[in-house]
Amino acid sequence: MEKILKTKRKVRFQDCDPFNHLNNSKYLEYFINVREDQIAEHYDLDIFKYMKTTGLSWVVASNQISYLKPAFTMETVLIESQLIQYTDNLLLVEMKMWNEEETELKAILWVKFIHYNIQAKKVANHCEDLIKLFESVVLPVDQTVFEKRYLEIIQNLKNRTYA
Indicate whether 138 pLDDT > 90.
yes
Q: How large is the average pLDDT for residues 1-5?
A: 96
Beta strands in 33-149 (DSSP E): 56-67, 76-86, 90-99, 105-117, 122-123
What element of type H or E holds 9?
strand 5-10
Looking only at the bridges linking them, the beta strands covering 76-86 and 90-99 are antiparallel
| pLDDT bucket at 161, cuts 50 / 70 / 90 | low
Q: Residue ranges per domain, the chain? A: 5-162
Task: Tell me the pLDDT tens digit for each residue of 13-34.
Answer: 999 999 999 999 999 999 999 9
- Predicted local distance difference test score (pLDDT) of residue 71: 98
pLDDT (tens digit, 9 = 90+) per residue, 64-104? 999 999 999 999 999 999 999 999 999 999 999 999 999 99
* DSSP 8-state class, residue 125: P
Q: What is the pLDDT of residue 160?
A: 80
Q: Across residues 133-156, what is the average pLDDT?
A: 96
CA distance 38 to 49: 15
Question: Which tens digits make up the pLDDT trace of 30-53?
Answer: 999 999 999 999 999 999 999 999
Statement: 5-162 belongs to CATH 3.10.129.10: yes
What integer pLDDT is reported at residue 162 of this predicted model? Answer: 61
- Check residue 118 and give left, alpha or beta (phi > 0: left; psi -120 to 50: alpha): alpha
CA distance readout (Å), 96 to 39, 42, 122:
16, 18, 30
Average pLDDT on 134-155 reads 96
